[in-house]
């Protein structure tokens, strides 16, 4: 299904006691694969010691971001890239595509039509959507105290 570059354990530290845990997945965009990608991310969160509340919010917000890739990023086949990183008491997840999002004249209608983007903003402590010429990145962060 996908290329797995996952590492749920601590990465090599910088000598200052930084506790970093990383998960990275690049996969073809197929609607039927989103549930497995969401569950894989939730499993990583549990292994990384996130609380159940943060795992649930992260999994749902990321699922919504991935669903937007399926719906908006590509006319034909494409790929999705999901990267999650925990550093000490913060977790940052990015969902990226290399497609093209809606043109500005259709973007407002799509955003007001769906509930995914407002839900992402509600679930994450911080969320930023960065559309660009080479794709869109959704970056979400959470405070992540030890479980």
State the DSSP code for 45: H
Q: In angstroms, rounded to a whole number, what is the distance separating the alpha carbons of residues 13 and 102?
A: 40
Give residue 2's pLDDT. 43
> ∠ CA(1), CA(71), CA(85), 5° rounding?
55
Residues 6+ apart with CB under 8 A from 65: 95, 116, 120, 138, 140
On the question of pLDDT at 18 being above 50, the answer is: no
Q: In angstroms, rounded to a whole number, what is the distance separating the alpha carbons of residues 72 and 83?
A: 20
**Helix-helix angle 116-123:52-68, to 10 degrees:** 150
On the question of pLDDT at 105 being above 70, the answer is: no
Please state the rounded mean pLDDT for residues 35-63.
96
For residue 96, give both structure tokens.
């990226």
Instruction: Rank 53-57, 105-109, 130-134 by mean pLDDT and report only the highest.
Output: 53-57
For residue 146, give both structure tokens.
């030890």
- Distance, CA of 28 to chain centre: 15
Reduce the DSSP state of residue 57 to 3 states and report it: helix
pTM of structure:
0.79
Percent of the chain at pLDDT exceeding 70: 77
End-to-end distance of the chain based on CA atoms, in angstroms? 31
Its CATH class, for the domain covering 22-143, is alpha beta
Residue 93, beta-bridge partner list: 84, 140
For residue 142, give both structure tokens.
């959470």
Question: What confidence tier does 38 reach under pLDDT thresholds 50, 70, 90?
Answer: very high
Percent of the chain at pLDDT exceeding 90: 54
């Amino acid at each position: 299904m996908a290329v797995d570059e996952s590492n749920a354990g601590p990465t090599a530290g910088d000598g200052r006691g930084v506790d970093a845990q990383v998960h990275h997945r690049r996969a073809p965009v197929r609607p039927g694969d989103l549930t497995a990608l969401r569950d894989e991310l939730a499993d990583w969160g549990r292994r990384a010691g996130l609380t159940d509340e943060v795992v649930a919010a992260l999994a749902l917000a990321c699922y919504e971001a991935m669903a937007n890739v399926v719906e908006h990023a590509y006319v034909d086949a494409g790929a999705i890239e999901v990267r999650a990183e925990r550093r000490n008491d913060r977790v940052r997840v990015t969902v990226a595509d290399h497609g093209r999002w809606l043109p500005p004249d259709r973007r407002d209608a799509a955003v007001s039509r769906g509930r995914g983007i407002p839900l992402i903003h509600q679930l994450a402590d911080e969320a930023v959507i960065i559309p660009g010429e080479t794709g869109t990145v959704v970056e979400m962060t959470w405070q992540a105290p030890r479980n």
